[in-house]
Amino acid sequence: MNIVSSVVGLSIMGTAMPMVANMAIQPMMAQKRAENFGVAEASAVTYSAMNEGLPETTPVPDGCNLVELEESNAYSITCVHGDGKFRQSAMRSFRLAELAGGGTQFGPNQAYTPGVYCPLWDAWGVQSYNNAHNVQCIPVPYGPWAHTYDGEMLW
């Protein structure tokens, strides 16, 4: 009886062992996928945040692909990190500021007033500045984007 139970136990263990071994490494595999996704997402989020509201895009980082969305001055960036089954990707979208006449967020044929920049308290001119002064002020990237602005300071 001991031999039979030993043989049966060993055969069950032999068939179950690959599944047990696979279950044992799943947390490490999930951790590696999460790490790769974190790198891809950080690249996409950083790039889209740095380019939001700028007049033109900056150089695209390695492992990322930039696509313009239907000529709307909006872009989508997809960043990929990792290899094989650990490969992860993240996508983010952003819009550029259109500083010339033509399609703006105010209408298809409305142009900015030359030489009139939006003030600090109304960086896009949508709160009340444009209506109060009967102009279409040029948006100025204050705050996080201030280092990219090289125009006239209005405060």
Taking only the tens place, the pLDDT of each residue in 7-66 is: 667 666 666 666 666 677 788 888 999 999 999 999 999 999 888 877 788 899 999 999
Rounded CA-CA distance 118/100 in Å is 14
* In the predicted structure, residue 107 carries a pLDDT above the cut 60: no
- Strand ranges (DSSP E) for the chain? 64-68, 74-81, 88-95
Contact assessment for residue 111 and residue 102, using Cβ atoms and an 8 Å cutoff:
yes
pLDDT at position 79 is: 96
Positive or negative: CA dihedral 144, 150, 151, 155 = positive
Higher pLDDT, 132 or 106: 132
Is the pTM here over 0.75, yes or no?
Answer: no
